[in-house]
Structure 1
C-alpha cells in the first residue's frame, strides 16, 4: 500500500512537498484576503452612508432656515408669491430627511419623519389660509422651533447610526485581525511540521544512499532498505546488486590469492630444501664464495616465502581498513633491505651510499618495507652499471623524508606524470634477466599513502633519478 503512495521521481516528491507546504499558507492568504475585502466593502458602504446622511442633514438644516425666513417675510409683506417659495423650500427640506429615514430604516426614524411632515404640512396650510398678521399664523410661527427639534432628532439618529456603524466596523476589523493571528499561530507550526516531514522524506533516502556508497567504498556490504521515490529505490536496488557482485568478486579474489599462495609455496619449498642440501654439503663440498651465494639465495627464498605468507594478511588489512603500526629503527630497516639486495649490487658493481640520523618510526613496517624495497630494486635495475646509489633520510619541514637516488638515464619529462600508473612502463628499459611488470612504483606509492604520506619523483639535474618518501613528522622520534 505504501509503495503505491511513493512518487516515481524525486522532482515529483519535491513538487508534492512544495504544494503541501504552500497549501496552509495559501489558505491563510485566501482567508486574509477575503476578510480584508469584506472589511473594505463594509467600510466603503458605511463611509458612503455616513457622508450621505451628513450631507442630507446639512441640506435639511439649510432648507429649514430658508423656510423660516420665507414664512417670516410673508408675515411682514403678505405677498402670496412667498407661499410658493415656502412650498419649494419645504420640498428641499423634506427630501434629505426622507433619504435619511430610508437609510436608517428604523421605526423611530419613520415616526420622526411622519411627525416632521405633519408639522410642515400644518405650517404650510396656515400660510395658505390665514392672513399674514392673524393670531393663528403668529401662534403657528411660534411652533416653528418644534419642527426644528423634530428634524434635529432625526439628524441626530443619523449621526448616532453612523457612529454605531463605525464602531461595529472597528470591532469587525479587530476580530479579523484576531482571526488572522490565530490562524497564523495554528498554521505556522503545521507548515513547519510539513517542512520538517518532507525534508526528512527527501533527505533520508539520499543519506541512506550516501552511507551505502561510503560503506561500499571501504568494503563493507550491507543491504539497503529504502522508502522514497521510485528512482531512488531503483538506485538502491542497483547498489544492492553491485554489493552482491563485489562480494562475489571479493570471494573470488580471496580464493585466487589462496590458490596462488599455495601454488607458489610448493615450488619455493623445494628450492629452499635444495639450497639447504647444498649448504649442508650433502652432494659435495662447496667453496666459501659458493656458500655466500647459497646463503643469499636462502635468505631471499625465506623473504619470498614471508611475502607470500603475508599476501593474504596484507589483503585482509586492506579489506578491513585496519592498520597495525609498530615502532622500529630506520637504520635497521635500511640495513635489512641492503642485505637482501647485496647480490644484485655486487653483480652490477654498484656503490651504495647510506646516511641519516638515528631515528625511530611508528608506522606500518611491512608496507614501508615493501615501498622502500621497490625503490631500491628500481634504483639497482634502472641505475647505471658501476654507478652510485644514495639512500638518505632526514627531518625537513615537519616531514620525515627518505630519498633514493641513482645514477642512470633520467626519466623523460613527458613520462613523469604517468610514472606511478599501474602497469605503465616508460621508454627507459630495465636491466637484468627479470623483466618488470610496471606495478612496483604503483604499489610503493599506495603503501606510503595508506600511512598518510606521499611518494614523489624529484626534479634533478644531470644523469640522476631521485624518489622521495614523505611521512608526517608525528611518526618520527629521535633515538
Structure 2
C-alpha cells in the first residue's frame, strides 16, 4: 500500500484507493456470508424434503401393513383367491417402499426380518394353523415398528449433524469476521497514516517557519502532487520571510546608526549654544535652544528603543535557567536607582519566591521596561509596587503604580508596537510606544503573556505570566 501511495500523484486518487482497499475485506466477508447463507438454506430445504419423503414412505408402509394383515386374516377364514391376490399386490407395493426406505439405512437387520416375514406370507396357502399366522403377523408388526424406530433415530442423527454443521459454519463466520474486520482496521490505520503523513510534513514546515528556524524539512520527493506543490510554496514563503526579516534588521541597524551621527552633532551644537560659547543668547533664542535639546533627547530615546526592539526580535529562542530573585532585583534596583530618585518614587518589593525559571535577558528587559513605563506615566512621589509570586504551574510578576486608569477598550492595543496611550509623560518626552510591546514580546518568547489588570491598591497594573516548565500556557 505504501508503494502504491508513492505511485499515486493525486491526493484524491490516494483517498479513493485507500477507501477501496479498506472495503475489499468487507466485501469478501459479505460475499462469503451470502454464499454460506445460501448453502445453509439449500441444505435445510434438502433435509426437510428428505425427512418428509422418508416419513411419508414409512407411513404408507404402515398403512399397507394393516391391509396385508387384514387380507391374510380374511383369506385364512374364507379361502378366497381374490383376497390372496389383493394381499400379494399389497406385499409388492410394501416391498417397493421397503427397498427405498432400507437403502437409506446402514443397519439392515430390521429390513431383513421384514423380508423374511413377507416371504413367509407370500408362500402362505391358507392351510396352516391360525395361531402360526397370528404369530407371523405379530412378528411382522414388531419388525415394522423396529424399522420405524430405526428411521426415527436416523433422522435425529441427521438433524444433529445439520446442527453441528450450522455451529461450525457460525464459528468459521465469527473468526472470519474478526480477521477480515481486523484487516480492514489495519488498512484504515495504514491508509490514514499515509494520507496524514504529507499533512504532518506540512505541519512541521509551518512550525519551523513560526519558530524562525533556519533549516526547514526537505521537500518530499513522493506523495500527492497538491501537497508537494504546497510544500514548495511554503519553502518560498519561508525564504521570502527570511529576506524581509533580514531587510528589516538591516534597515533598523543602518537607520539607527545613520541617525546617531547627525544626532551627536546636533546635541553638541545645542550644548555649545546652551553654554553660550559662541555668543550671548537672548531669552527667545535660549527658549529655542531648550526646545532643541528636548527634541534631541527624545530622538535619542527613540533610537535606543528601536535598537533594543531590534535586538529583541533577533533573539530566536529563549534560554531558560533558574535565576536567583534576590540577585536579580538587587542588580535591577542598582541600575535604575537614579531614575527612581529623580521622580521621588519608592520601589516596594514583594518577592515570594527564591528563584524564577526564565531567560535572564528577557526577564530583565521586562523589568526595565515596566519600571520605565511606571516612572514615565505614574504619579510622582507615589510608590511603585513589584510583586513576584508563583501560582500552580506559572510564575507571575505584577508591576503597579498610581496614576491614570486605562479604559478597557484601550488595554490590548497598548501592547502593540508604536501604540501610545492618552496619558502625559512625566518627562515631557513623547514616547515611541515600544515599551509595553517589548514586554509582551519578551513574555511571548518565554511562552507567557502580558496583560493589564485591575487591583485595589493601584490605578495601573501590568501582570506578566510565565510558565514554570518553559512550555506554552
| Contact 2:305–2:434 (8 Å) recurs in 1 | no
Greater CA deviation, 261-270 or 235-244? 261-270
1:225 aligns with 2:228: no
In the TM superposition, residue 357 of structure 1 has moved relative to its aligned partner by 5.9
Corresponding residue for residue 63 of structure 1: 64
Q: Pick closer, same or farther for the CA change 1:100–1:471 going to 2, 3 Å.
A: closer
Change (3 A) 1:92 1:433: same
Contact 1:49 1:162 (C-alpha < 8 Å) held by counterparts: no
Q: CA deviation at 1:315?
A: 3.0
1:388 aligned counterpart, secondary structure: coil
Aligned to 2:205: 212
Task: Identify if the C-alpha distance between structure 1 residues 136 and 250 changes in structure 2 by more than 3 Å, giving closer, same or farther.
Answer: same
Deviation at 1:2, TM superposition (A): 6.1
**Counterpart for residue 406 of structure 1:** 402
Distance apart, 1:183 and its partner CA: 4.8
Query: Residues 454, 180 of structure 1: CA spacing in aligned structure 2 closer, same or farther, 3 A cutoff?
Result: closer
Relative to 1, partners in 2 of residues 1:341 and 1:48: Cα closer, same or farther, differing over 3 Å? same
Take 1:314 and 1:121, find their aligned partners in 2: how far apart are those partners?
A: 124
Provide closer, same or farther for how the CA distance between residues 153 and 468 of structure 1 changes in structure 2, counting only shifts above 3 A.
closer
Is the contact between residue 205 and residue 228 of structure 1 (CA under 8 Å) also seen in structure 2?
A: yes
1:225 is paired with a residue of what secondary structure?
coil
* Paired residues for 1:332-411 under 5 Å: 332-340=331-339, 345=342, 350-356=343-349, 363-383=358-378, 387-395=380-388, 398=391, 401-407=397-403, 409-411=404-406
Shift of 1:67: 0.9
Residue 459 (structure 1) aligned with residue 454 (structure 2): yes
What is the rounded CA distance, in whole Å, between the counterparts of 2:429 and 2:296 in structure 1? 19
* CA distance in 1: counterparts of 2:397 and 2:64, whole angstroms: 114
Matches within 5 A, 1:262-301: 262-267=257-262
Corresponding position of 2:283: none
Give the distance between the partners of 2:78 and 2:238, measured in 1 at CA. Answer: 121
Indicate how the Cα distance of structure 1 residues 447 and 433 shifts in structure 2: closer, same or farther if over 3 A, else same.
Answer: same
Q: CA deviation at 1:389?
A: 3.5
Deviation string, structure 1 residues 276-311 (Cα, Å, up to 9, x no partner): 999xx9x79xxxxxxxxxxxx999999999877766
Distance, in Å, in 2 between the alignment partners of 1:264 and 1:324 is 37
Counterpart mapping for 1:151-166 below 5 A: none
Distance 2:302 2:137 in 1: 137
State how far apart, in whole Å, the 1-side matches of 2:447 and 2:179 are.
55
- Residue equivalent to 1:292: none
- For residue 214 of structure 1, report the CA deviation from its aligned partner: 1.9
8 A Cα contact 2:256 2:306, kept in partner: yes
**What's the secondary structure of 2:383's corresponding residue?**
strand
* 1:8 and 2:11 correspond: yes
Separation in 1, partners of 2:386, 2:311: 29
Q: Tell me how far 1:337 sits from its aligned partner.
A: 2.3
What corresponds to 1:22 in structure 2? 23
Which sections of structure 2, spanning at least 5 residues, go unmatched?
A: 279-294
**Greater shift in the superposed pair: 302-311 or 39-48:** 302-311
After TM superposition, the structure 1 = structure 2 runs for residues 196-207 of structure 1, keeping only pairs within 5 Å, are 196-207=189-200
How do 1:131-280 and structure 2 match up within 5 A?
133-134=126-127, 169=162, 173=166, 176=169, 180=173, 183=176, 187=180, 190-220=183-213, 221-226=215-220, 227-267=222-262
Extract unaligned runs of 5+ from structure 1: 285-296
Q: Is the 8 A contact 2:320 2:359 kept in 1?
A: yes
How many residue pairs get matched?
437
Deviations 1:407-461 (A, max 9, x none): 3x43234434543334444444557653234333222233344446654434367
Task: Give the one of 410, 430, 437 matched to 1:435.
Answer: 430
216-225 or 180-189, larger mean C-alpha shift: 180-189
Cα separation, 1, equivalents of 2:52 and 2:162: 16
TM-score (norm 1): 0.67
Q: Which moved more, 1:42-51 or 1:211-220?
A: 42-51
Residue deviations 1:349-392, cap 9 Å, x none? x43122336897655454444434444444454456xx433222
Change (3 A) 1:335 1:452: farther
Deviation, structure 1 residue 208: 2.1
Alignment deviations for residues 113-161 of structure 1 (CA, whole Å, 9 cap, x no partner): xx89x959956xx8xxx7xx55799999998799889989997996797
Q: Per-residue deviation at 1:216? A: 1.9
For 1:45-60, list aligned pairs within 5 A.
45-60=46-61
Q: Which residue of 1 aligns with 2:329?
A: 330
Normalising by structure 2, we get a TM-score of 0.68
Q: CA RMSD in A?
A: 5.3
Asked if 1 retains the 8 angstrom alpha-carbon contact of 2:340 and 2:346, the reply is: no
- TM-superposed CA distance for 1:468, in Å, is 3.5
Partners of 1:200 and 1:303 in 2: how far apart? Answer: 55
